[in-house]
Amino acid sequence: MPGQADAHSHGGFEVPVDSVDRPVNRELLGQFVGAAFDSCTSCQDALLTLLVEDPVTTARLVELACVATQMEFGGLPGSLTDEHRPGPASPEFRRLAREGLNGITTMFTLCEQMSPAQRRAAANTGADILLGHLILARQEA
């Protein structure tokens, strides 16, 4: 957690630069994913509060979750894009993922229009999805 580096720390996650080189806070996103990967909910929650104040970084988290899913399954299942399908994805994540299918730029624009609470819901789902893929990849390695 910021300010508590002396108490404990988490390995950072290397966030790839996006193709458009948007002003993503890669350090914050990497710290958040590292804390989540280590199941440190106190650090994860504190970092998430900072993350959702940054729409570009929040959208990048959602984008990475979608890219990982597309790579694994060859596309996004309806449970991540369609609000009428059952599944644990938040409506906010589904809206961003659906918009991302129309173009990543429009997904980033929609994320900027969301409130921090809406971005938090989308980020929570995005983190769960991305972490699931990272955990599976680690087990396969």
pLDDT band for position 121 (50/70/90)? very high
For the whole model, what pTM was predicted? Answer: 0.89
* DSSP states along 70-94: HHHHSS--GGGT-TTS-SS--HHHH
Sign of the dihedral defined by the CA atoms of residues 37, 43, 44, 48, in that order: negative
Contact predicate 1/47, CB 8 Å? yes
pLDDT tens string 124-138: 999 999 999 888 777
Of 80, 73, 69, 64, give the one whose Cα is nearest residue 13. Answer: 64
Of 38, 7, 47, give the one whose Cα is nearest residue 131. Answer: 38
